[in-house]
Structure 1
Amino acid sequence: MASKNSNKTFCCYYKNISYMKADEKLMIASSKRVVIKIGSNVLTQDNGLNLNVIGSISRQISMLMDKKIEVILVSSGAMASGIKKIGLSKRPDEIPKRQAVAAVGQAGLIMEYEKAFERFDKKVAQILLTSDDLSNRKRYLNARNTIYTLLSWKVVPVINENDTVAIEEIKFGDNDNLAAMIALLLDADILITLTDIEGLYDKDPRNNPEASLIPTVESISKNLEKLAGGIAGPLGTGGMLTKIMAAKKVTAAGIPMIIAKGEKPDILTRLFAGEKHGTFFVPKKGRLSRKKCWIGYSLKPQGAVIIDDGAVSAIINEGKSLLPGGVIGVEGEFKEGAPVEFCNSNNEVIGMGLVNYSSADIIKIMGLKTSRIKEKLGHKPYDEIIHRDNLALTAECR
């Protein structure tokens, strides 16, 4: 970023405050269901698990549970645990070996959590997921119901990606994304991501002493994403950018998020006591419905439709459905009922929806009034390309 514009650029992202704003404090204090994600860098020590951190986090979560707060834990650390148990010097390069190491390590990870929580008379349950589990509506609902049942039993769900069976097509990619998906799945009140640095900085604080913490982010711009892309995480699969993308998902759905330093003493209890730590991401007003969260963030797009400015305005500002007249282009091949992105004329993604027509049929009727659908196709099951009940806005415009 150009230095002369740096202050002007950043003022639209955050407000440089040292105290917790009243609404931030209220959002945290009123949270009754919390997703907590712990990163690899926090959990790892000497190529193995940091048992002190596991013990501390387990104690703090137990204290929150004693205050009637439901906690879902998304935990990295399986790879580090497996490397230590097998006696390897580093993470293997080959995918089958990495998956085997994760399988060994996952057992060790859940065992350590079980021992740590047992000290506070709490039980844990292991849940391993792939993105395929959440893209299938039936399995999505089954996963949600299982986790709800565990929470009703006062059991801590410990969730991780099922690395042993995951292939590229069904991977979440990183636990930041997984944590965001779980927060959406369970309609959480807040997502807290614990990492190895204090929060989001304007530069990488590990190699730049002039770096400044950004305490509050009110909107996530392309410039902010670019900034975060330069702050990597050496041990995990995700750096700061994956955390920003997770924040983008949950805040668009109306859920706040915090990035904070996981090794800071009593970080969770201090946050819930009203202390300001890390970076707080302000959520958009209004919550997406559970169905729209599933459409917008759990499904993988099978194509895209390009829509004109009038259709963009009607969908965003008036809550309208997408009609054939607003479509100006189609990308990819897909069938009726497929999840499809809809983009503006600059190819910027506005949201995701379930289409009522195949790509071939949309090409035939795009730009036309609904009265001409039957003339072109020989039938007219729907007026809408995407009904408003089956579309979710995922862009900053929401």
Structure 2
Amino acid sequence: MRIVFKVGTATLYENGRLSDRIDKIVELLSELNKNHEIILVSSGAVGAGYTKCPLDKTKLENKQALAAIGQPLLMREYKERFHKYDITVAQVLVTAADFDSRKRSENAKKMINVLLENNVIPIINENDSVSVEEIIFGDNDQLSAYVTYYFDAGLLIMLSDIDAFYDDNPKKNKNAKPIKKVTKIKDEWLNAECDPNDKFATGGIVTKLKAAKFLMDKNIPMYLTNGNDLNSVREFLKGNHTKGTLFFNGELKMDNGELKEKNESGCNQ
């Protein structure tokens, strides 16, 4: 199965520096890469840039500059960690225009297919240094949904700083309860105000809901869980859904009999 993982800035960075969670995430993806085709959509370029050059991120040109500084730094961190598992990674920077054009999206998909056929994990990010639309309006939540659909993945797993989708704001209502499965997204959820927790994040639960709706309309499941508890992902992929929220209006079967064998050829570090 081809699976897209989305990792947010708040999951990767803590107190202005790269968190140890990145090691655990790489370990998980390397483990799953043995039986699945893995695509990683990773935020964090602006946060990485800020660790080297603390510019005022409220200015668009500064945020673009931070992304330009941080993207190679972030890729270096991933490359070094995946190297421990003898896995090659590839940097893929995209813009909204790559998905608006059928020719460009098809060419991008062919390239992604070549990488995956050769056991290379694509690490995708919006080209923040030139893509004004993303920095002002969007975020990698919706980008990961586009990647999942246009690159023929069967599942999006979104690693966040929240445990699940709740029936109310858990920060304001201590009695709020997590919803295990969402089969329909209400309009009022999508019209709520975005509430990113991290000063470098551009989304919040609303952008995750928009990503989920985009995929649900195309009959593709999305699983939202906390990036601090990666065992929830392992259990989910074994068919044990105990934590997190599944956005899907059908029945999802994740038994081993459905997993696609991977091509034995590949590129080595």
Q: State the TM-score, normalized to the length of structure 2.
A: 0.87
Structure 2: state its 5+ residue gaps: 252-269
Which deviations, in whole Å up to 9, do the C-alpha atoms of 1:316-359 show, x marking residues without a partner? xxxxxxxxxxxxxxxxxxxxxxxxxxxxxxxxxxxxxxxxxxxx
Q: Give % identity.
A: 38
Query: Could you tell me how far 1:168 is from its partner in structure 2?
Result: 2.7
Letter of the structure 2 residue corresponding to residue 134 of structure 1: F
> Which of residues 93, 104, 113 is equivalent to 1:148?
113
> Aligned runs of 1:26-41 on 2, under 5 Å?
32-41=1-10
Q: Are the structure 2 counterparts of residues 219 and 46 from structure 1 closer, same or farther at C-alpha, using a change threshold of 3 Å?
A: same
Alignment-derived partner of residue 217 in structure 2 = 252
Q: Is contact 1:43–1:53 with CA below 8 Å preserved after alignment?
A: yes
Partners of 1:245 and 1:176 lie apart in 2 by: 8
Which deviations, in whole Å up to 9, do the C-alpha atoms of 1:108-142 show, x marking residues without a partner? 11111111111111111010000011111211111
Whether 2:168 is the aligned partner of 1:199: answer: no
> Which of residues 39, 46, 52 is equivalent to 2:15?
46
Query: Could you tell me how far 1:82 is from its partner in structure 2?
Result: 0.5
The structure showing larger relative contact order (alpha-carbon pairs under 8 Å, at least 6 residues apart) is 2
> Which of residues 67, 76, 80 is equivalent to 1:111?
76
> Which of residues 173, 197, 200 is equivalent to 1:234?
197
Which has the larger Rg?
1
Q: Is contact 1:48–1:83 with CA below 8 Å preserved after alignment?
A: no
Alignment-derived partner of residue 176 in structure 1 = 141
> Aligned runs of 1:374-389 on 2, under 5 Å?
none
Q: Is contact 2:194–2:207 with CA below 8 Å preserved after alignment?
A: no
Q: Is contact 2:95–2:127 with CA below 8 Å preserved after alignment?
A: yes
Q: Are the structure 2 counterparts of residues 265 and 188 from structure 1 closer, same or farther at C-alpha, using a change threshold of 3 Å?
A: closer
Alignment-derived partner of residue 258 in structure 2 = none
Partners of 1:255 and 1:231 lie apart in 2 by: 24
Query: Could you tell me how far 1:172 is from its partner in structure 2?
Result: 7.4
Letter of the structure 2 residue corresponding to residue 278 of structure 1: G
Query: Could you tell me how far 1:275 is from its partner in structure 2?
Result: 2.7
Alignment-derived partner of residue 60 in structure 1 = 28
Structure 1: state its 5+ residue gaps: 1-31, 286-398
Q: Is contact 2:135–2:202 with CA below 8 Å preserved after alignment?
A: no
Partners of 2:137 and 2:182 lie apart in 1 by: 25
> Aligned runs of 1:1-398 on 2, under 5 Å?
32-50=1-19, 52-66=20-34, 68-86=35-53, 88=54, 91-168=56-133, 173-226=138-191, 229=192, 232-235=195-198, 236-276=201-241, 277-283=243-249
Partners of 1:116 and 1:91 lie apart in 2 by: 30
Partners of 1:91 and 1:237 lie apart in 2 by: 15
Give 3-state SS (helix, strand or coil) of 1:164's partner: coil
Query: Could you tell me how far 1:266 is from its partner in structure 2?
Result: 3.0
Partners of 1:205 and 1:53 lie apart in 2 by: 23
Please tell me the root mean square deviation across aligned C-alpha atoms, in Å. 1.9
Partners of 1:254 and 1:171 lie apart in 2 by: 29
Q: Are the structure 2 counterparts of residues 167 and 143 from structure 1 closer, same or farther at C-alpha, using a change threshold of 3 Å?
A: same
Moved more, 237-246 or 168-177: 168-177
Partners of 1:94 and 1:56 lie apart in 2 by: 33
Query: Could you tell me how far 1:262 is from its partner in structure 2?
Result: 0.7
Moved more, 262-271 or 245-254: 262-271
Query: Could you tell me how far 1:246 is from its partner in structure 2?
Result: 0.4
Give 3-state SS (helix, strand or coil) of 2:124's partner: strand
Q: State the TM-score, normalized to the length of structure 1.
A: 0.59
Partners of 1:65 and 1:253 lie apart in 2 by: 25
Give 3-state SS (helix, strand or coil) of 1:203's partner: coil
Q: Are the structure 2 counterparts of residues 36 and 101 from structure 1 closer, same or farther at C-alpha, using a change threshold of 3 Å?
A: same
Q: Is contact 2:28–2:230 with CA below 8 Å preserved after alignment?
A: no
Q: Are the structure 2 counterparts of residues 172 and 119 from structure 1 closer, same or farther at C-alpha, using a change threshold of 3 Å?
A: farther
Partners of 2:56 and 2:130 lie apart in 1 by: 18
Give 3-state SS (helix, strand or coil) of 1:259's partner: strand
Q: Are the structure 2 counterparts of residues 173 and 84 from structure 1 closer, same or farther at C-alpha, using a change threshold of 3 Å?
A: same
Query: Could you tell me how far 1:208 is from its partner in structure 2?
Result: 2.4
Query: Could you tell me how far 1:265 is from its partner in structure 2?
Result: 4.1
Give 3-state SS (helix, strand or coil) of 2:58's partner: coil
Q: Is contact 2:89–2:123 with CA below 8 Å preserved after alignment?
A: yes
Give 3-state SS (helix, strand or coil) of 2:31's partner: helix
Partners of 1:97 and 1:230 lie apart in 2 by: 25
Letter of the structure 2 residue corresponding to residue 280 of structure 1: L
